[in-house]
């Protein structure tokens, strides 16, 4: 199980680091800000920076297997939002759908219950034991962190697209 969890942590952590790199590098920032603005996430510049930093931090923590509940909460919070945004395009990731962020989110959420495994800094520091309370708490923090961004986006989109009378 140790090697399996290490592989999962590296895969998910690397994916998050890659997403962060796209948002934080100089060439990617204008496109990310424009995209965030287009999907109703304002202030786009600040939220794009925050998202990139959270993805980077969560990815690094997951790869290292350090503070896994914190890393899970951060990653799942971002992935809940990405899933909501991408769901407008359906399921298939080939069409920009929710498949990729939902899958990453579920795998990451599972780590809240398994922990980082034996090949981790958590294990080295004696933080390997995972309780259901900590796992559930990490996921509740993730959802609580995602909700304000979903609300910001929803309010912004309501202003852009007025409701039609029935």
Q: Which pLDDT score is estimated for 128?
A: 85
SS3 at position 40: coil
Global confidence as pTM: 0.89
Rg (CA), the chain: 17
* pLDDT value at residue 88: 87
Residue 52 vs residues 45, 56, 125, 133: alpha-carbon distances, Å: 11, 6, 28, 28
Instruction: Write down the pLDDT at residue 164.
Output: 53
Rounded Cα–Cα distance for residues 133 and 69 (Å): 11
**Which spans in 39-131 are helix H?**
44-64, 68-86, 99-114, 121-124
Q: List the domain boundaries for the chain.
A: 2-158
Q: Residue 163 has what pLDDT?
A: 54
Q: What is the mean pLDDT of each run of 10 residues along the chain (166 residues)?
A: 94 97 90 90 91 97 97 97 91 92 96 95 93 95 92 77 55
The pLDDT value recorded for residue 156 is 75
From first CA to last CA, the distance across the chain in angstroms is: 56
């Amino acid at each position: 199980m140790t090697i399996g969890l290490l592989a999962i942590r590296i895969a998910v952590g690397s994916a998050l680091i890659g997403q962060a790199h796209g948002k934080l590098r100089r060439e990617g920032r204008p496109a990310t800000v424009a995209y965030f603005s287009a999907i109703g996430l304002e202030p786009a510049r600040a939220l794009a920076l925050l998202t990139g930093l959270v993805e980077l931090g969560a990815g690094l923590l997951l790869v290292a297997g350090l503070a896994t509940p914190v890393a899970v909460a951060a990653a799942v919070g971002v992935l809940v939002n990405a899933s909501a945004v991408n769901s407008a395009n359906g399921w298939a990731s080939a069409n920009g759908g929710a498949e990729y962020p939902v899958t990453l989110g579920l795998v990451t959420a599972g780590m809240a219950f398994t922990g980082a495994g034996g090949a981790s800094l958590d294990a080295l520091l004696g933080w390997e034991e995972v309780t259901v309370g900590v796992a559930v708490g990490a996921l509740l923090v993730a959802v609580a962190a995602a909700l304000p961004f979903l609300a910001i986006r929803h309010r912004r989109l309501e202003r852009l697209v007025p409701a039609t009378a029935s």
